[in-house]
Homo-oligomer: A and B are copies of this chain.
Amino acid sequence: MDIQAFADLLAEKFDLHIQKKAPYIEALTHSSYVNENRRKKLTDNERIEFLGDAVLDLQVSHYLYVHYPKMPEGDMSRLRALIVREESLSKRCVECGFDQFVRLGHGEESSGGRQRESLLCDLFESVLGAIYLDLGIDAVERLLSITIYPKIKSGYFNQRMDAKTALQEELQKHGQIKLHYDLIKEEGPAHAKEFTVAVQLNGKEIGRGKGRSKKHAEQAAALSALENHQASNNERK
């Protein structure tokens, strides 16, 4: 791994100047590489990704809180889920060029791991975790203000907020389809009801979600079906 080239990339693209190398080395080391090099006693990027995931969630939450002062909590939550979903973050990862630097095992490399959405999404979050540890929250904010916030501002994600419509459109690409939303469960006391809804495509369940109202649960089920659909598309690639 050429950590100096990675440092140059961060400096050039984001004006970020790394101080410690260790967090970035951790972030750029996939578990498949560690497994194939057990004697080196390396650390893979799963722990630092856990941290980066939380950093990203907070920064996006804060952005939404400030820029959408009238948006209800449920909508903020769905909008954030769209922004930080695998498909979206894996694209940001490639745009940033981080995919060129991750160390993979041979098996992972030859099976196309370097293009796999889940790996790229995790990698993006790992690098955020490293920047947070090395340079602090303001440095993370700078990267996000270049890579993610403009996309939010453009309305790209808002248009996708209606997951039921998005799911219908996505599945119709392959011909006429019929979606059916089923109320599965209704539980909790009157002031804090929770609804569970399943969405079926031609009688087969393709997603399930919960919410405080039937409408919210339907949207959550549709979002889950969308994610399942995209994940399985991704595996076929």
Q: Which residues of A contact B (CB under 8 A)?
A: 32, 46-51, 53-55, 57-58, 61-62, 65, 71-73, 76-77, 107-108, 111, 113, 118, 133, 137, 188-189, 191-192, 235
Q: Is there contact, CB below 8 Å, between B32 and A47?
A: no
Known: A58-B58, A61-B54. A49 touches B32 (CB 8 A): no
Q: List 5 A-B contacts (CB under 8 A).
A: A51-B61, A53-B61, A65-B133, A111-B191, A137-B137
Q: Is the interface of A mostly helix, strand, loop or mixed?
A: helix
Q: Which residue of B lies closest to A137 (CB)?
A: B137
Is the Cβ of A118 less than 8 Å from the Cβ of B192? yes
Residues of B within 8 A of A58 (CB): 54-55, 57-58
Nearest CB of chain B from residue A139's CB, rounded to whole Å: 14
Question: B62 and A47: CB pair below 8 A?
Answer: no
Q: Which residues of B contact A235 (CB under 8 A)?
A: 188-189
**C-alpha spacing A71/B58, complex, angstroms:** 23
Chain B, Cβ-Cβ closest to A46: B73
Q: Which residues of B contact A76 (CB under 8 A)?
A: 47, 50
Which residues of chain B come closer than 8 Å to A50, judged between CB atoms? 61, 65, 73, 76-77
A62 and B51 in contact (CB under 8 A), knowing A32-B191, A46-B72?
yes
Residues of chain B within 8 A (CB-CB) of A111 are 191
